[in-house]
Amino acid sequence: MGLRQPRRIALTLALIGLGVASLGALAFAQGSPFGVGPTSAPAPSGIGAWILAEQARFFRALSAAIREAKADGSAAYGLFWLSFLYGIFHAAGPGHGKAVISAYLLADGSTIPRGILLSALAALVQALTAIALVGIAAVLLGATARAMGEAVRILEIGAFGIIIVFGVLLAWRKGGAFLQALAVWRSGSVAHDQTHDHGHRHAHDHGHGHEQHVHDEHCGHSHGPEPAELAGRGWLKRGLIAAGAVGLRPCSGAILVLVFTLSQGIFLIGVASTFAMAAGTAITVAAIAVLAVGAKEVAVWLAAGRGGLGTVAFRGIELVGAFVVIALGVLLLSGLMASERMFPV
Amino acid sequence: MKFLAPVRIALFALAALGLASTAARAHPHVWVTLNSELVFGSDGTVAAVRHAWTFDEMFSAFATQGLDKDNDGKLSREELKELAEVNVTSLEEFNYFSAAKNAGKDVAFDKPKDYWLEADKDNVLTLHFTLPLKAKAEKGEFTIDVYDPTFFVDLSFADGTVVKLDGAPAGCAAEVKKPQSQGTAQTNLSESFFNSLSASSQFGSQFANRITLRCK
């Protein structure tokens, strides 16, 4: 086949280059005010503004609910409920998690149950990170907010770095599969009538860039991509990496709640409240993930009747997803997409 | 055909990237109740703005975590010294959330002086700092808008706040105007309100707390 490594490299680099260049045009990154949550929030409008206002309202109410829970243990249930709602609204607004998860799901063998599973995992890991951070730093070590801020920064760099590397590896896999599908489709449409499709294309990636099986001579049946077949192996491993990387960056709201409950002497209630928040977050992220997977399935379905083109579309969407993962990682790491941040207090 | 597909993908990727970056917006995690004073020089013009900003209790608890070195449950000014330093240093990049105008021109501030943090009995923090004007103020209206254009910090005057004038000549009066929607901002940001903002308007300034000084 005419698919050489150099071409794949060139395509990969070109796209990364484009992404980076567009970033340059975007940008001014700011630090943080009191050493506080900073940066570029574009003017909210419409539903975005409403979500923003709801988040603020819930977050504000958390503070009072924690005080009540301190005075009266049974008020803790109110706090959990509020935390859960906050989780739902918070994930609908800012936060990188849902963007990275959705992009990943576009890029890799996604089905709706998988999307839900990964969203829930990411939210759970995120809650555990916040609890571990505050538990170790503040409870055990008596660290200052500044020390915790630095720890968050390190976790953040790690998480965003993993997202970028992961995205590049994903793009590499999917880029190969895409070019292969493209070549198969092109050779098919040149040699034969388009409606007469060359079905059995093993254009899936097996993780070996060199083994490109393209069985071109099984004429006679048209055969769109089957999710199970095209999903690619090892998605679970990759999915876990994606969920883990997303969850590695704790959410500021959870850290604030944990430290505040700690100062009130009800840390365990803060821990429970963090899990309640994670449950809410999981629901919203899962809903967005389902939309992403659904959109992809519709696109593939539309293209499916067109034989090889369906595979090309499928692989194309996956490749775009992989590049969005990279782009999000770069934006996050460079601080351009700081939708919230912990305070270098 | 050869180059079309990659180009298309690149365009899609860029579009998605654009979407993703505009989708990033946050709600404030920090609330500040403002108190401000205008300080006059011996020549009778405004020389500085003296701020006292009180943080919400959750942020206060976070910011002071681990700072009670002597474990007496109280935070002394000494224990908070370093934090105050970090606060005012970090605020510089944000122009102290204070945009002043004098006789129609922008006013620049010098680095803050006389800054310290104070904790009340519940360990709620108040940041005190004074912002001197770089150049001498002229006659004419003097206004300061206090707001965070990025909306990460919610700054507002408490109801009924009066801006004190320190050493003002007779005939001067300061008026405080809270943003129209401020009182309802938490509960009632209607879509039409936001849609009515023009694209070019600076969102945060809609929430500005404006101090206007007029001298006869």
Considering only CB atoms, which chain B residues are within 8 Å of A255?
A: 62
In a domain, B10, yes or no: no
Distance CA A101, CA A167 (A): 11
Considering only CB atoms, which chain A residues are within 8 Å of B20?
A: 99, 103, 324, 327-328, 331, 337
CB contact under 8 A, A94 and B186: no
Considering only CB atoms, which chain A residues are within 8 Å of B3?
A: none
Task: Provide mean pLDDT across the span A132-149.
Answer: 89
Distance CA A209, CA A278 (A): 38
In a domain, B2, yes or no: no
Q: What percentage of residues in chain B have a pLDDT greater than 70?
A: 75
Q: Given pLDDT bands bounded at 50, 70 and 90, which one contains residue A164?
A: very high
Q: What percentage of residues in chain A have a pLDDT greater than 70?
A: 68
Q: Report how far apart, in Å, the C-alpha atoms of B34 and of each of A257, B29, B39, B56, B126 are.
A: 23, 16, 16, 11, 10
In a domain, B1, yes or no: no
Task: Provide mean pLDDT across the span B163-189.
Answer: 71
Task: Provide mean pLDDT across the span A204-225.
Answer: 41
Largest CA distance in chain A: 79
**What's the pLDDT score for residue A14?**
55
ipTM above 0.90, yes or no: no
Domain count, chain B: 1
Structural domain boundaries enclosing B160: 26-215
Distance from the Cα of B30 to chain A's closest Cα (Å) equals: 8
**What's the pLDDT score for residue A337?**
63
In a domain, B205, yes or no: yes
Out of B26, B62, B188, closest to residue A260 by CB:
B62
CB contact under 8 A, B27 and A93: yes
> Which of A34, A90, A179 to mutate: most B Cβ within 10 Å?
A34
The rounded mean pLDDT for chain B is: 78
- pLDDT > 50? residue A332: yes
Residue type at A231 in one-letter notation: A
CB contact under 8 A, B94 and A56: no
Which residue from A minimizes the CA distance to B22?
Answer: A42
- pLDDT > 90? residue A21: no
C-beta of residue A116 within 8 angstroms of C-beta of residue A290: yes
In a domain, B123, yes or no: yes
CB contact under 8 A, A30 and B94: yes
| Cα B146 from chain centre | 5
pLDDT winner (highest mean) among A107-121, A281-295, B106-120: B106-120
Considering only CB atoms, which chain B residues are within 8 Å of A50?
A: 189, 191
CB contact under 8 A, B58 and A62: yes
Out of B61, B65, B194, closest to residue A44 by CB:
B194
Distance from the Cα of A26 to chain B's closest Cα (Å) equals: 9
In a domain, B8, yes or no: no
Considering only CB atoms, which chain A residues are within 8 Å of B191?
A: 45-47, 49-50
Q: B133-148 in b/e burial notation, b at 16+ Cβ within 10 A?
A: beeebeeeebbbbbbb
Q: Given pLDDT bands bounded at 50, 70 and 90, which one contains residue A279?
A: very high
**What's the pLDDT score for residue A197?**
44
CB contact under 8 A, A32 and B91: no
Name residues whose C-beta falls within 8 Å of residue A118's C-beta, 6 or more positions apart in sequence: A101, A104, A105, A239, A242, A243, A289
Distance from the Cα of B210 to chain A's closest Cα (Å) equals: 20
DSSP 8-state class, residue A139: I
CA atoms within 13 A on the CB side of A176: 22
Considering only CB atoms, which chain B residues are within 8 Å of A11?
A: 6
CB contact under 8 A, A145 and B27: no
Considering only CB atoms, which chain B residues are within 8 Å of A52?
A: 25-27, 151, 189
Q: Report how far apart, in Å, the C-alpha atoms of B75 and of each of A146, B34, B60, B114 are.
A: 16, 21, 11, 19
- pLDDT > 60? residue A4: no
- pLDDT > 60? residue A249: yes
Q: Within an 8 Å CB–CB cutoff, is residue B173 touching chain A? A: no
CB contact under 8 A, A42 and B87: no
Q: Given pLDDT bands bounded at 50, 70 and 90, which one contains residue B136?
A: confident
CB contact under 8 A, B65 and A22: no
Name residues whose C-beta falls within 8 Å of residue B125's C-beta, 6 or more positions apart in sequence: B54, B55, B59, B60, B63, B64, B75, B80, B117, B118, B119
The rounded mean pLDDT for chain A is: 75
CB contact under 8 A, B65 and A263: yes
Q: Within an 8 Å CB–CB cutoff, is residue B121 touching chain A? A: no
- pLDDT > 70? residue B112: yes
In a domain, B19, yes or no: no
- pLDDT > 70? residue A267: yes
- pLDDT > 70? residue A335: yes
User: Comparing C-alpha atoms, which of B113, B156, B105 is closest to residue B131?
Assistant: B113
B 40-69 residues with CB < 8 A to A: 55-59, 61-67
pLDDT winner (highest mean) among A224-233, B92-101, B173-182: B92-101
Size of interface A-B (CB pairs under 8 A): 228
CA atoms within 13 A on the CB side of A237: 6
In a domain, B4, yes or no: no
Out of A41, A46, A253, closest to residue B194 by CB:
A46
User: Comparing C-alpha atoms, which of A125, A133, A155, A153 is closest to residue A262?
Assistant: A133
Q: Given pLDDT bands bounded at 50, 70 and 90, which one contains residue A99?
A: confident
Out of A33, A146, A316, closest to residue B152 by CB:
A33
Q: Within an 8 Å CB–CB cutoff, is residue B75 touching chain A? A: no
- pLDDT > 90? residue B127: yes
Q: Within an 8 Å CB–CB cutoff, is residue B181 touching chain A? A: no
